[in-house]
Amino acid sequence: MTTLDDEVFLVREAERDQVEVFDVITYRLLRRLTVPNCSDIVDMTSCKHYRCVYISDYDVKCIHRLDSQGAATQWPVNDKPDGISVNKAHHVLVVCPSVSKIKEFSTEGQLFRELTLPDDVITPWHAIQLTSGQFIVCHGYYVHAVNRVCTISADGQEIVRAHGGQRGSDTGQYNVPRHLAVDDNEFVFVVDVVNRRVTLLSPTLGFVRHVVSRDKLKWEPGRLHLDVHRRRLYVAENEVTGGTGHVVVFSV
């Protein structure tokens, strides 16, 4: 899910070729947009500059682009994409977990560069570029000993600092940190799938607090979106089996 102007964009697992658009105040369904040739949507983000929504498609290995009126195009990533974000240059950052890369594209799909992440950043899921040029990256899975959030140098080669380490449930630990959001002051929100919580970190990746605790969520959260203007945190959670899910909205 993501927001653009006064609208919320959402994809449901059962209707993966349809993007539902809701009013951001009333949450009333406004319209549905079709995503042609869509197979397995894994993430979504928006760009105010180009007034469009980007969708990563894991199976087709592409990014779908929808403008505000629903006109759709797509371009190849050539690796299986996962988390996506937009940087201050209005370029699309695509994380490819299986090859441990961040790929940077123009809005038309021109590949500007590929960054190969350090060897110990195993299975990266999502990356957001800071104003300094550095990246915040979350990585790690159920089968990995290390699950962390890292600040990565602008060239992608060095871990500057990290939060987390051994996979677990204690404060300061993660169990599949899957998705990120960063506010205007560069505080970092981290969705922690298995621990069913959202952790807030300082700009230097110091632990601040759990802004969403386990008792506030029913199922496993997998994605989040921060509406900086309205100070709303949208958390998408899904039942492990059965395909049921919904979005929970928090004031932050």
Residue type, 92: V
Mean pLDDT, the chain, integer: 93
Token representation of residue 168: 């677990």
Q: What pLDDT does residue 76 have?
A: 97
Residue that the structure tokens 């209707």 belong to: 15
Q: Is the pTM of this model over 0.85?
A: yes
The answer for 149, left when phi > 0, alpha when psi is -120 to 50, beta otherwise, is beta
Confirm if 34 and 18 have CB atoms less than 8 A apart.
Answer: yes
User: Closest by alpha carbon to 205, among 234, 169, 166, 163?
Assistant: 163
CA separation for the pair 88, 48 (Å, rounded)? 11
Token representation of residue 155: 């060239």
Q: What pLDDT does residue 70 have?
A: 82
Q: What pLDDT does residue 188 have?
A: 98
**185: CB partners within 8 A, 6+ apart:** 203
* Domain layout of the chain by residue ranges: 2-251
φ, ψ (nearest 5 deg) of residue 97: -60, -40
Q: What pLDDT does residue 39 have?
A: 82
Query: In the chain, what's the furthest Cα-to-Cα distance?
Result: 46
CA separation for the pair 63, 135 (Å, rounded)? 21
CA separation for the pair 97, 111 (Å, rounded)? 18
φ, ψ (nearest 5 deg) of residue 215: -75, -10
CA separation for the pair 168, 65 (Å, rounded)? 37
Residue that the structure tokens 């993007």 belong to: 19
Q: What pLDDT does residue 35 have?
A: 87
SS3 for 39? Answer: coil
Q: What pLDDT does residue 13 have?
A: 64
Q: Which residues of the chain, if any, have pLDDT below 50? A: none
Specify the CATH superfamily of domain 2-251.
YVTN repeat-like/Quinoprotein amine dehydrogenase (2.130.10.10)
Q: What pLDDT does residue 16 have?
A: 65
CA separation for the pair 169, 185 (Å, rounded)? 27
**69: CB partners within 8 A, 6+ apart:** none
Residue that the structure tokens 């180009």 belong to: 50
